[in-house]
């Protein structure tokens, strides 16, 4: 089994450095600069938050690895925009999809990764005890975050008059927002229920070191 807690500080610094490199590549000639700025902002804010609280609350290395992968996904999506991701454009042609489904993957990750973050914070900070109630709290919290994200997109369109397709990437799907929240719910449920035991072991290893 992977020992994520071996020399954690060094691993964390490497992950942070790789995030900076990925950010630079993402910023070079994106398909749409405004879309890039909007779609990469959540990734940057998450990284800055984790750096700011690092010495007060350090997550397990497993969680930082998950966040790293999520940030890579967000920066990759921001560079091409979610609606024009080249890999999923290829899949769209091969499987005769009606739309580019990269945003579905993004919203799955929006539930999957925050579930680990929230669970670890709630449990290790002493707010919630492990158990089925904790599962419910984490899953519903992730669903709430997903809904908040959709409301922010709604506000950008209605208040700042940003083009709808640029922000929301509905691609003509009237139920796009509902699908986004559903995939976040699926991601959070899988992370909490299926990967919960593995995550518990990673937290236990961290506490021993």
Cβ-based neighbours of 184, under 8 Å, separated by 6 or more: 107, 108, 110, 111, 142, 143, 145, 146
pTM for the whole structure: 0.90
Residue 3 lies in a domain: no
Q: What is the pLDDT of residue 201?
A: 93
Residue 72 lies in a domain: yes
| pLDDT on residue 166 | 59
* 98 is a domain residue: yes
1 within some domain: no
Q: What mean pLDDT is predicted for residues 125-153? A: 91
Kindly state whether residue 115 falls inside one of the protein's structural domains. yes
- The answer as to whether 2 is a domain residue is no
Non-local CB neighbours of 146 within 8 Å, separated by 6+ positions: 107, 110, 111, 180, 181, 184, 185
170-203 residues labelled b (16+ CB within 10 A) or e (exposed): beeeeebbeebbbbbbbbbbbbbeebbeebeebb
Domain count across the chain: 1
Does residue 44 lie within any of the structural domains?
A: yes
Chain mean pLDDT for the chain? 89
Domain around 44: 8-208
User: Average of pLDDT values for 24-40?
Assistant: 91
Residue 104 in any domain: the answer is: yes
């Amino acid at each position: 089994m992977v020992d994520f807690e071996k020399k954690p500080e060094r691993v964390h610094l490497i992950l942070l450095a790789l995030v900076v490199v990925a950010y630079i590549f993402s910023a070079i000639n994106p398909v749409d600069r405004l879309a890039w700025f909007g779609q990469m902002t959540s990734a940057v804010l998450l990284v800055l938050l984790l750096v700011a609280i690092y010495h007060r609350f350090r997550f397990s290395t497993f969680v930082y690895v998950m966040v790293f992968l999520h940030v890579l996904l967000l920066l990759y999506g921001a560079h091409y925009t979610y609606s024009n991701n080249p890999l999923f454009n290829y899949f769209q042609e091969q499987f005769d999809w009606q739309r580019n489904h990269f945003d579905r993957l993004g919203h799955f990750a929006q539930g999957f990764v925050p579930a680990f973050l929230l669970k670890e914070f709630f449990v290790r900070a002493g707010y919630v005890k492990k158990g089925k109630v904790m599962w419910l709290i984490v899953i519903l919290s992730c669903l709430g975050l997903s809904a908040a994200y959709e409301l922010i997109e709604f506000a950008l369109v209605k208040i700042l008059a940003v083009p709808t397709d640029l922000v929301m990437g509905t691609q003509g799907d009237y139920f796009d927002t509902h699908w986004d929240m559903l995939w976040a719910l699926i991601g959070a449920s899988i992370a909490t229920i299926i990967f919960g035991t593995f995550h518990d072991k990673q937290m236990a290893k961290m506490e021993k070191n």
